[in-house]
Amino acid sequence: MTERDVRVRIPPSPTGNCHVGTARMAIINFLFARRHSGTVIFRSEDTDKERGKQEFEDDIVISLHWLGLDWDEFYRQSERTDMYREALRSLIDLGKAYVSEEESKKEAGRMIRVVRLKNPGTNVTFTDLIRGDITFDTTELGDFVIARSVDDALYHFAVVVDDALMKITHVIRGDDHISNTPRQILIQEALGFERPKYAHYPLLLGADKSKLSKRTGDTAVRSYKEEGYIPEAFLNYIAILGWTPASQREILSLPEMIEEFDIKDLHKSGAVFDIEKLRWFNRNYLQKIPAEEFGQAALGIMEEMVSERGLKWSSGTGAQLYGMVRERISVWKDLRVLIDDGELDYFFSEPRYNTIDIPGKKSAPESAIKHLNSLREILANISETQFRNQETIKASVWNYATKEGTGAVLWPFRYALSGLARSPDPFFIASVLGKECVIKRVASAIRALSAV
């Protein structure tokens, strides 16, 4: 087999949205195939008539495309029933399978005709590319059911026929499918099909080391998209979970991952899906976005969220917040939360003072008033142009602040500008608000303190 002979399949069942586990399966198969210049086949295993929905298939396709994955061929099992029927009849004709009339497990008293494979009861050994040789005694499987009827093949039979007709060379899937392998090999042998190579990787684990679930992070990929994760960052993190590239690097572009991927480098134990690590990856990618592109995206979110809070939006003010915002978020949702929590309100509206919270109020309100009055005089002597530079404001105030005590001076100043006990550097806030607004707010805080 040459590298160009490699053919793998991405075979999701459209009974739910594309989750992290589905994405990881697709990523591993994609990287393996592209590393060997092979073919990627998307196969929608849509034979579950009760739970399968077109909207789920659409979601899986859209989500994988969002991650940057593609494929060379596309199939639906629901459109291939004639092939399964023909293969079933050939097994029955050869005496390798038979029709059995049995009572339905779902409907007591109702008789159904299923198709069972004649199990030769042999030992089956296959070489797993990740785990080595694995042997099963198939005797205990008995003559297992491979179809509900001659016209309705079950999962194991359909995938074996598809893998053979699609010339799949490598079946790469989670280790929860290991127990399916002996059944599928028995069906392959009965049909005279060539056996593909198998690789079973460990499933992802939640933070508590249990199987990854919706509770521990295995949510729909589109949810991460909606929260503002960058697709390249999400792809990068999922790809390196349970895989250590030869370069030992964590941050890799898709072409770099393809270049480095070796299935033998997949770990033999489960990797933990850590949302904080995912946020770290996303922050790395977020920091690499060009300033202009980042600014446009941030401006759009800020305008939307500030307006929703009923505040007066200013694009000029918003543009001055890019740097601060960039340092405080790891994913775009963080910016929405920041604004929704009111932490940027004071940039777009007058703060409301709760005098109980003004630093210095309880111990020495007259001290806070004194320092704010002094600051007002100092700030009044800075030109409007110079006021746009936070370092100029700091240099003007700093001698007084260090002489009187930086905490005693700057805490009331910070509160006067923001109305919050915690906020960014007061010199930064002042440079954004401008001279007139700053002096007005300092005066308002003095009046609030004086009225106590």
Say yes or no: 271 and 211 in one domain. yes
Say yes or no: 263 and 333 in one domain. no
- Residue 445 forms part of a structural domain: yes
Say yes or no: 298 and 281 in one domain. no
- Residue 175 forms part of a structural domain: no
Instruction: Find, among 147, 148, 161, the residue nearest to 190 by Cα.
Output: 161
Distances (CA, A) of 219 to 225, 227, 332, 334: 11, 12, 18, 18
The Cα 333–Cα 354 span in angstroms is 29
- Residue 107 forms part of a structural domain: no
The 10s digit of each residue's pLDDT in 150-174 is: 899 999 999 999 999 999 999 999 9
Q: How high is the pLDDT of residue 367?
A: 86
Say yes or no: 331 and 379 in one domain. no
Q: How high is the pLDDT of residue 256?
A: 98
- Residue 279 forms part of a structural domain: yes
- The percentage of the chain sitting over the pLDDT mark of 90, rounded to a whole number, equals 83
The Cα 138–Cα 158 span in angstroms is 20
Q: How high is the pLDDT of residue 48?
A: 82
- We report the CATH number of the domain holding residue 254 as 3.40.50.620
Query: Do the Cβ atoms of 52 and 46 come closer than 8 Å?
Result: yes
Say yes or no: 279 and 323 in one domain. no
Distances (CA, A) of 341 to 171, 358, 447: 48, 20, 27
Give the domain range for residue 213.
1-75+202-288
Q: How high is the pLDDT of residue 1?
A: 41
pLDDT value at 16 more than 60: yes
Question: Strands 39-44 and 73-76: what pairing?
Answer: parallel
Say yes or no: 302 and 250 in one domain. no
Boundary of a domain, candidates 247, 263, 288: 288
Query: Do the Cβ atoms of 349 and 317 come closer than 8 Å?
Result: no
Say yes or no: 338 and 386 in one domain. no
Say yes or no: 314 and 371 in one domain. no
- Residue 3 forms part of a structural domain: yes
- We report the CATH number of the domain holding residue 407 as 1.10.10.350
For the stretch 124-127, contacts whose Cβ atoms lie closer than 8 Å and that sit 24 or more positions apart, written own/partner, are 124/181, 124/182, 124/185, 124/186, 126/181, 126/185, 126/195, 126/198, 127/197, 127/198
The Cα 291–Cα 428 span in angstroms is 19
The 10s digit of each residue's pLDDT in 24-72 is: 999 999 999 999 999 999 999 998 878 889 999 999 999 999 999 999 9
- Residue 119 forms part of a structural domain: no
Boundary of a domain, candidates 257, 288, 319: 288
Q: What is the rounded average pLDDT of the residues 208-218?
A: 74
Say yes or no: 222 and 270 in one domain. yes
Q: What's the mean per-residue pLDDT of the chain? A: 93
Structurally, how many domains does the chain consist of?
3
Say yes or no: 219 and 303 in one domain. no
The Cα 124–Cα 110 span in angstroms is 35
- Residue 253 forms part of a structural domain: yes
Say yes or no: 308 and 383 in one domain. no
pLDDT value at 342 more than 50: yes
Boundary of a domain, candidates 324, 347, 370: 347
The 10s digit of each residue's pLDDT in 424-434 is: 899 999 999 99
Say yes or no: 390 and 429 in one domain. yes
Positive or negative, the Cα torsion across 438, 444, 446, 452? negative
Instruction: Find, among 146, 194, 145, the residue nearest to 166 by Cα.
Output: 194
